[in-house]
Each structure stands twice: as structure tokens, then as C-alpha cells.
Amino acid sequence: TRELVKARHRPVVFITSNNEKELPDAFLRRCFFHYIKFPDAETMQKIVDVHFPGLRKELLGVAMKTFYDVRNLPGLKKKPSTSELIDWLKLLVAEDIPLEALQSKDEKVSVPPLVGALLKNEQDVTLFEKLVFMQKHNR
């Protein structure tokens, strides 16, 4: 528009990142970093309640346990985050996945239905499946 726009107050800009993208050093020198700890299960439940206020508590409990089990597996390149949990829950509800399909009978981690919503990296899916396979055969 070739118009000069002058701010009345110095702007404050917030940029969020999940540390996947490399940014130039010149840009990073102009940033202030503040680490925000990943939500614990109680906080995550409150976040999920905003998106799914009527979600069955049993489904939420089992899905949250599965989510944190997957998230805590060693070696994942990209751990599932809040947005992946929300996406996965949408799919579970839309597909009407039965509660039993999410629960492992022996409390070990198993490949959950629609795991592609949680793990967005092909190597992570492969690693996850190998870990589950090894776990089942090391009894």
C-alpha cells in the first residue's frame, strides 16, 4: 500500500516453536526463550475437557494412559503432543472405537487403533511397533 504504519506502542511478538525447524542465529539472537513444561495428566485432562466436554471418563482415562505410555517411550523423534492427542480423540470418537480396543490385557504397551494420529513420523511408528513386538516376546 506504500503507507507508513507507525505503532503507538512497541509491539510484543510471541513466536512458538516445537523445536523442529532450524532458525538462523541472527533471528534467534533477537528472541527471548521461555520453556513451558509439557502438561501433566491433570492439566491435560482439563485441556481435553475444553475440546470434548461430554467425553466418557472411562474412554478419556484409557486414552490418556495410552497417550502418556506412547509419549514416554524412549527414542521417539517426535513425541506426540497435545494436538496429536486431540486429533486422536476426535478419530476415536468418530470411529466409535470400543474401550476394549485401547486397553491391553496385561498392562503392557500395545499398538493402539489409529496410532498414525499420535505418531506422525514413519520412523517413530516403526520403532514403536518394534518395541511393542520385543516387549511381547520378552515375557
CA distance 56 to 54: 6
Q: What is the mean pLDDT of residues 66-92?
A: 92
* Of 11, 12, 50, nearest in space to 34 by CA: 12
DSSP codes of every residue in 54-70:
T--HHHHHHHHHHHHHH
Question: CB–CB of 118/70 below 8 Å?
Answer: yes
Question: CB–CB of 60/46 below 8 Å?
Answer: no
Structure confidence at residue 60 as a pLDDT band (50, 70, 90): very high
Digit-coded pLDDT (tens) for 83-139: 999 999 999 999 998 888 887 666 666 778 898 899 988 899 888 888 877 776 665
pTM for the complete prediction? 0.74
Q: Which of 9-18, 78-87, 94-103 has the lowest mean pLDDT?
A: 9-18
Which has the higher per-residue pLDDT, 26 or 28?
26
